[in-house]
Amino acid sequence: MGYKVVVVGATGNVGREMLNILDERAFPIEEIAVLASRRSLGTEVSFGDRTLKTQDLAAFDFTGWDIALFAVGSEATKEYAPKAASQGCVVIDNSSLYRMDPDVPLVVPEVNADAVLGYTKKNIIANPNCSTAQMVVALKPLHDRAKIKRVVVSTYQSVSGTGKDAIDELWNQTKGMYVPGQEVAPSVYPRQIAFNVIPHIDVFMEDGGTKEEWKMMVETKKILDPSIKLTATCVRVPVFVGHSEAINIEFEEFLDEDEARDILREAPGVMVIDKREPGGYVTPVECVGDFATFISRIRQDSTIENGLNLWCVSDNLRKGAALNAVQIAEVLGQKALKKG
């Protein structure tokens, strides 16, 4: 017995990665359907050694299907996720639409797997923001030991978090810097992304922060602990895949850097690579294609009473999106649907 699984948005970066990860993790599948907009209808995508043709999302009947992994924008999700849920299919949504809905669990399986059981209210489970997901995987085991008071995080986020057009813009702008007459003006981003960094992700809010920074704050509170104070500065960098974060943590009690390192080595989903030598840390290049959240540069912060600094890197298309969604499906199967 396996599950009848639908991947919505199967032609996009995250949708394709979902198909790869379902195959890699041998998720128990009885039948699979891949959906896309009419614009991408008939496009072929790979699933293991099979080639699948996309079907029309607008015309699809979700009745009898168990799980739908949604990897489309909020507008399409708003229209089709409630339809799928009402037809008895559990939706695992990668968009931001339902994350802060009190009736929809927001889940990172290494952190709050039991929250999955709250899916019954709307038949929907939300996947967190990519930058939040990797961070809370690192924070959870430390919070269990010493209780986190405050987090200050600066992110260095790759262009794949924006989508395929952003990947193309970085590639073409980079080439254009060296080929006279092939210069590419910014269109996806408000400034040139090649050889540059842009301190602006998502829309600006009234307080001067961006929505990405707000997401990191409110999602951390919902997933991990509402008492944690968090401030973020989110920056887009000229990297294709892999988000990095410099995280400063203030605890309620002292936590030694060596104990923190030992705790993180044992934590689910975490890989510690932390040698105090040139190259003794992880960068986005090394994390691509991996399931782990990598932690490096663990050290005491002597400027506050109970402080630690660390460096956190993960493949944003995997742990930040597709992998987390598939892990939610695995937990949902184990704890609720129980077919696989």
Distance CA(27)–CA(78), nearest Å, equals 27
Q: Catalytic residue at 130?
A: yes
Question: Which of 130, 234, 287, 312 is labelled catalytic?
Answer: 130
Distance CA(340)–CA(329), nearest Å, equals 11
The two structure tokens encoding residue 273: 């690579």
Q: Is 161 annotated as a binding residue?
A: yes
Q: Is 14 annotated as a binding residue?
A: yes
Question: Which of 89, 243, 287, 312 is labelled catalytic?
Answer: 243
Q: Is 157 annotated as a binding residue?
A: yes
The end-to-end CA distance of the chain, in Å, is 6
Q: Is 11 annotated as a binding residue?
A: yes
Q: Is 208 annotated as a binding residue?
A: no
Q: Is 299 annotated as a binding residue?
A: no
Q: Is 269 annotated as a binding residue?
A: no
Q: Catalytic residue at 200?
A: no
What is the SS3 assignment for 200-222?
CCCCECCCCCEHHHHHHHHHHHH
Other Cβ atoms within 10 Å of 151 Cβ, number: 22
Q: Which sequence positions are flagged as catalytic?
A: 130, 243
Output the known binding site for substrate: 157, 236
Output the known binding site: 11-14, 39-40, 99, 157, 160-161, 236, 316
